[in-house]
Amino acid sequence: AVIAAAKAADEAAKAKKIFDPLHWREDFTLWKDQPQLVTPEGLSLGKPHTLFEIRAQQAGLRDLEKQRLLAERYGIMGVADDIARNSIKLNDPIKIKTNKGIEVEFKNPVGTIIKWTEQAPKDIDMIIEANLKSGNKGKILEGETAQIVQDAGVLEGTSLKLETPTKMPVGDIDILASSGTNKYIIEVKESVGAIRSSQIDKLTNPLHPNFFNHEGRQIIYYLENPIANGPEQLAKLKLLEEKGVRIISSPEELRGLFQP
């Protein structure tokens, strides 16, 4: 009985060490050919969740992301909260002048490098005009919204495409705006149903592999129709609220955002 108790105490100590962010090791491994998750200390944590396995392999993740994913897998929310509160520092972007314009390169906290090209005023004018003439209701709304922001004198970019150095698409930004010390990313949607949860995470969660809000800008969702139809859409609105995202649904309210 004494031996069994000592063994149980030893296993508990190992588990505590493993789940403590201060003791995570780079050689944490997910054994591809085994049906269970095994730590460097040899402690089996059971069969990995499929999503965890896919994302860990896909992103080539560093310690912070491994901690977060494992916290999600086992419901250890304190670990995830500690990471969010204490461990995240956003890197300053690198700007390079190219024949296409100023290229911006940002390395997010997980280590993913994301690139885009800054837009000159003439580029912005051309993009807005193209969106307004596109025939696509979503693009037309994006163009109209960008025009409102441009008329307020605070538009920095619109329809920005983001990608990795290998040209893999990461996401897009509908509108970049800056008013005094306030900086915004504005996503434009016709309805609640058009909101993508994955996009919200890329904008608000620094530990998402494709996080690209490098300045920690305030996120605004401009919804032409903010009425939720059904529990799924209500859940999307609740997610926006939980993430600190502001919803605006009229041109007047949008203009008011930029007034002193």
The number of residues making up the chain comes to: 260
* Residue 137 pLDDT: 94
Is the pTM of the predicted complex or chain greater than 0.85? no
No. of helices (H) and no. of strands (E), the chain: 9, 8
> Given a cut of 90, is residue 122 above it in pLDDT?
yes
Beta-bridged to residue 97, according to DSSP, are: 102
Condensed to tens digits (0 to 9), the pLDDT of residues 145-154 reads 999 999 999 9
DSSP 44: B
Query: Cα–Cα distance between 259 and 55 in angstroms, integer?
Result: 42
Backbone φ and ψ for 71, nearest 5 degrees, come out as: -60, -40
Coil, helix or strand for 186?
A: strand
Check residues 58 and 129 and name the one with the higher pLDDT.
129
pLDDT range class, residue 6, cuts 50, 70, 90: low
> What share of the chain in percent tops pLDDT 70?
66
* Residue 50 pLDDT: 38
Average pLDDT value for the chain: 75
> Given a cut of 50, is residue 79 above it in pLDDT?
no
* Residue 61 pLDDT: 40
> Given a cut of 90, is residue 39 above it in pLDDT?
no
